[in-house]
Amino acid sequence: MSSRFIFITGGVTSSLGKGLASASLAALLQARGFSVLLRKLDPYLNVDPGTMSPYQHGEVFVTDDGTEADLDLGHYERFSGVEGKSSDYVTTGKIYSTVLSKERRGDYLGATVQVIPHITDEMKRFILSNTEGADFVLCEIGGTVGDIECLPYLEAIRQLRNDLGRDRVMFVHLTLLPYIPTAGELKTKPTQHSVKALLSVGIQADLLLCRCDRPIPVEEKRKLAQFCNVSSDHVIAALDASNIYRVPMQYHAEGFDEQVCRYFGFKDRPVDLTKWKAISHSLDQAKEAVRVAIVGKYVQLPDAYKSLIQALAHGGMASHLKVEIVLVDSEKDKDLEETLSTVDAIVVAGGFGERGVTGKLDTIKIARTKKIPTLGICFGMQLTVIEACRNLLGIETASSTEFGPTNEPAVGLMTEWMDEQGIQKRCAGGDLGGTMRLGAYPCELKADSLIAKTYGVSTISERHRHRYEVNTAYKDRLESVGLTFSGFSPDGTLPETLEYKDHPWFIGVQFHPELKSRPFAPHPLFVGLVNAAYEYQKKPK
């Protein structure tokens, strides 16, 4: 069948969870046997989020094909199991840069290049590209209706409804119904205004998904339907959930997927929610908990560690354990020893730049000497090497060239490597945007290593996002003090994984395993870490 398009916009305020809403609807459509694609169109002018601080938009999610994308693509993958690609994420900046290079090439044949039609046509091209085989394409429009930045996207999707017809396009609008305690009511006015704002650019919402902290009384539903020009069946409550993996079941109970299917004329499609029910059940069963510290410098905004926090939760789900996350500020925590004495495992998170490095190095030393189960991710692995050089080999000035010139570059700028396109070259002072080692690369694991046992296979593929690399010049010396290089790129040149021989569970990885963990396929490294945490907790100290 030709693809149907569902556009998800947001109103009233940001942070309502459009990404989760889109991902949950996609999961429900899959449960009815449809194939789905999920896409996000972000309204900012950065070409991609790669150069943005995590404080701006949270973590940068990376797909197998090396696209640096908004964290919502992580929700999409975790809920739908469909891997994101470069054709699933775009920003206004990228659209403009495509249009401007076409203009320079002379592709517009003398036309005046304008937002309408040139920018909006490029947006439409993006939405319609690479959709073969997808029954439903769910496109989330970033930002909030009413922002100037959103307007070209809204114009593009308004036009698409005319181009494709009502039977192939649906507009879902996510809004907020705030509860006002003094009035004792859920208020509908902000939603009415938001729906009007959409209407003023020619889009009539077909269905309202209303975030609320309590059920919507029938009267309020009727009022919303009447003022917003939708049927009351199309006013769906999106109640706060105790766990995000319960959201699809809640939406289903509210009739969301049924109404969407009816809209498109797919009546009575059987629905199989077995795996979502199983997940709710497994969440209920988790009675015991382990405490895992995430040590990093972006802890003020937990969204900076979105996939990591999810991957740890998946690790717990595999063993019916709750995972309590303790966010530890590697820059500000003045008593790391005390803080880390209260946890059962540690993740030394990825990161960029020298700020907060001392705290991470101290954490690694504590984890190593106190034998606390530890996973060092990307920067965490690089700093593991620096800590070992300094404290085990006595090379006091060992450092990374990321922090400035050094005579002992235990970690150095990666200037050359191979990928599918051939040899990649980089130099100091080059562009920062989109030039890291990005996306999935294979890695060979040494037989008998803890990591090979943890994965249960010897060749893995994991996603990367880094500019620097562990320097193999220090390998023999490091191995002589117990730090084993347990995984390499297939050509044997790039160290990908490390582990301490005399430690119950200490693994460092150059890649980001958290990006590939799913609730239905918890990542082996996180399952391993959580199990090691449980054992550590039970051990007499």
Residues that bind ligand GLN (CB under 6 A): 350-352, 378-379, 402, 465-468
Q: How far is the CB of 124 from ligand GLN (least distance, A)?
A: 34
- Catalytic, 514? Answer yes
- Alpha carbon separation from 66 to 61, 154, 420, 463 (Å, rounded): 9, 28, 11, 8
The answer to whether 156 and 127 are in contact (CB under 8 A) is: yes
How far is 191 from 212, CA to CA, in rounded Å?
12
Residue in the block written with tokens 């509860």? 179
Residue of 89, 80, 74, 85 whose CA lies nearest to 39? 89
378 an active-site residue? yes
Structure-token pair, residue 285: 């069963």
Report the alpha-carbon angle 189-193-198, nearest 5.
145
Closest contact distance (angstroms) between CB of 230 and ligand GLN is 44
Which of 40, 466 has the CB closer to ligand GLN? 466
The active-site residue out of 173, 503, 512, 523 is: 512
**Choice between 143 and 351, CB closer to ligand GLN:** 351
Q: How far is the CB of 451 from ligand GLN (least distance, A)?
A: 18
Q: Which of 57, 77, 514, 523 is catalytic?
A: 514
Q: Which is nearer to ligand GLN, 305 or 352 (CB)?
A: 352
Long-range CB contacts (within 8 A, 24+) of 69-72? 69/40, 70/19, 70/40, 70/42, 70/142, 71/19, 71/303, 71/306, 71/307, 72/18, 72/19, 72/22, 72/23, 72/40, 72/140
The distance of closest approach from Cβ of residue 465 to ligand GLN in the complex, given in angstroms and rounded to an integer, is: 5
Are the C-beta atoms of residues 317 and 282 closer than 8 Å to each other? Answer: yes
In this structure, which amino acid lies at residue 439? G
Distances from the Cα of 334 to the Cα of 296, 386, 415, angstroms: 14, 21, 36
- For β-strands 495-500 and 483-488, DSSP reports them as antiparallel
For ligand GLN, the closer CB: 234 or 465: 465
Shortest Å, Cβ 350 to ligand GLN: 3
- Which residue lies nearer to ligand GLN by CB, 350 or 356? 350
Smallest gap, in angstroms, from Cβ of residue 349 to ligand GLN?
7
Question: What is the crossing angle of helices 306-318 and 524-538, to 10°?
Answer: 70
Active site residue 512: yes
Which residue's C-beta sits nearest to ligand GLN? 350
Q: Considering beta carbons, is residue 75 or 464 the nearer one to ligand GLN? A: 464
CB of 446 to ligand GLN, least distance (A): 23
How many distinct helices (H) and strands (E) make up the chain? 18, 25
Beta bridge partners of 100: none
* Nearest to ligand GLN of 446, 467 (CB atom): 467
Q: What span, in angstroms and rounded, lies between the C-alpha atoms of 170 and 381?
A: 46
Catalytic hit among 378, 387, 389, 444: 378
Annotated active-site positions, please?
A: 378, 512, 514
